[in-house]
Amino acid sequence: QPWWVHLLIVVFFVPVHLQAASSEGKRAASFREATVQQDLYAAVSAASSWLDTTENHLLSGPVLLSEDTHTQLTHLESLNKQLKEMSREVKECRDWLHGGTGRVWGAEERTLIEDTLEGLQERMGLLDSVLEQHCDSIRDSLQEHTVFQNELRMLFVALNESKHQLLQKMAGMTDRPASKQLEFELKVAELRSTADRLQLDQTSKQELLKLQDTYEELVLMVGSRRSSLNQGLSLKAQYEAALLDLTELVDTAQDKMAADQKMAVASVIEVQMLLDKHREFFQFLERHMILTRTYFSKVSGLVAQRESHALEETMTSAFNVLKQAHKRGVELEGILESWRRFVEDYQALCKQLEAVESSIPTVGLVEETEDRITERISLYQRLKASLAEHQPQLYQVLEEGRRLLLSVRIFQRSGCKVVFTLVCAEHGKPAAAAEKGRHSWSEDSTEPNQHSVGRAADSHPCSARKAAPGLIRLRF
């Protein structure tokens, strides 16, 4: 206890001693009374000064006077306990004053002491109330600080776990949901405002700054990952669209290859157009296969195993249909080359027959003398030899025509009818009869479109048309 408390107690005990020793003399009592009054004044002044200092210390200073809050709280609790003890002592002094001790004082002195002690006790009561409030405030602050530090640690652990998960699942996992990131951001902002309100010590501030750095690092990582994932998802969407188009192209190609392999064309130009379309379609299919494979290589980390199997199956089907298409393209090129060669041979044969036709006499003999007849026979023999010379060429053209008929269905148009006509001619019947189904046509029947070589040979008694029965019946 402060010295003035002991002095105050002594002051209130002295009058009892004075009362017991009143027989020694008024002079000694008067002197002692003056001394007691001085001591009482000194004690009350010291008490007032101590209370002033304590009040100023509490009311003008900060709530947390040092970084060690627990020490500050212990100091205030000790001070509060000491103040309660002094209040109890002052109360006892007042009780003594109201008791027998107060009778030794005069009325005026007793009133003064009573007022002084009452004021002193009121100040102590107010100071005690303020100390209680300060202690409660510090306890609440300590509790908030403890909760804050716990939340700080929990959030720091959560951020580290999120960072660890992002680093582990960077290949296939999307970033944290926006709601989760917003929750972290709100927690950090709340902790920052709480730290500003609590006036944290240096250690807690460093922990908060460390947490903020970790959070900002995580936000940057998530932002970078989000950009990467957005690009990856865009590429994946392009890959899925390319795979769908490839599947449709493969189905279309399989339908084309499964269709009737025998073409229905009317000219060599149509064969060329068909070959060009065939090349264009399957070259586009091959380019789309390469494009799909390129997209897959860029998004393989985002594609599930089932989708990878679907791609492999589609690629296998595409490779198989490309093999068939290549084989079909070679066949079309062969047909085109055969048709062109056939047309060239046919035109050459027509020119040769036209040359033979121009050598045939157009009028009969005016005078059938032996020399005239012999000369006419020699002419027909030369024509016969010329026709026999071109017989292999005719058979070659017929063979080419047969092969074309095995590969294509030719519409009966001018320019394409020659193949059908040549084959019919090989079997000894005109094309018109074959078309109408008249299989009883004979060599002696008269045809309006029969070649003039045949007509001239029919008029000859030696039956010169027997040398080339197939050639004579050609219609051009």
pLDDT interval class at 251 (50, 70, 90): very high
SS3 content of the chain, % helix, strand, coil (to 5): 80, 0, 15
Chain segment 106-136, per-residue pLDDT in tens? 667 677 777 777 888 888 888 888 888 888 8
Non-local CB neighbours of 393 within 8 Å, separated by 6+ positions: 345, 348, 349, 352
Residue 411 clears pLDDT 80, i.e. is over it: no
Q: Are 47 and 132 in contact (CB under 8 A)?
A: no
Instruction: Give residue 288's pLDDT band: very low, low, confident or very high (50, 70, 90).
Output: very high
Rounded mean pLDDT of the chain? 69
Residue 332 is predicted with a pLDDT of 86
Strand spans (E) along 223-338: 263-265
Q: Spell out the long-range contacts of 161-165 with Cβ–Cβ below 8 A and sequence spacing 24 or more.
A: 162/218, 163/214, 163/217, 163/218, 163/221
Both tokens of 34, joined, read: 């003056």
Q: pTM score, two decimals?
A: 0.43
Q: Domain 235-339: which topology?
A: Methane Monooxygenase Hydroxylase; Chain G, domain 1 (1.20.58)
- Strand, helix or coil for residue 265: strand
| Token pair belonging to 307 | 């989708």
For residue range 56-105, list pLDDT tens digits in order: 777 665 544 445 677 777 877 888 888 888 787 777 777 776 665 545 55
- Tens digits of residue pLDDT in 199-238: 556 666 677 677 777 777 777 776 776 676 677 778 888 8
> What DSSP assignment string belongs to 66-97?
SS-HHHHHHHHHHHHHHHHHHHHHHHHHHHHH
Q: What is the pLDDT of residue 444?
A: 36
What pLDDT, on the 0 to 100 scale, is given for residue 465?
34
The pLDDT value recorded for residue 81 is: 84
What's 103-140 look like in SS3? HHCCHHHHHHHHHHHHHHHHHHHHHHHHHHHHHHHHHH
Bridge partners (DSSP) of residue 264 are 409
What number is the average pLDDT over the span 174-184? 56
Stated as kind and residue range, the H or E segment containing 410 is strand 408-410
**Is 248 a residue whose pLDDT tops 90?**
yes
Burial 230-249 (b: 16+ CB within 10 A, else e): eebeebbeebeebbeebbeb
| Residue that the structure tokens 């594609």 belong to | 303
Residues in the chain: 476
> Whole-angstrom Cα distance, residue 85 to residue 80?
9
User: Which ranges of 390-465 does DSSP label H, i.e. alpha helix?
Assistant: 391-407, 417-426, 431-436, 452-459
CA neighbours within 13 Å on the CB side: how many for 474? 23
Could you give the CA distance from residue 133 to residue 142 in angstroms, rounded to a whole number?
A: 14
- On the question of pLDDT at 416 being above 50, the answer is no
Q: What is the CB neighbour count within 10 angstroms for residue 267? A: 16
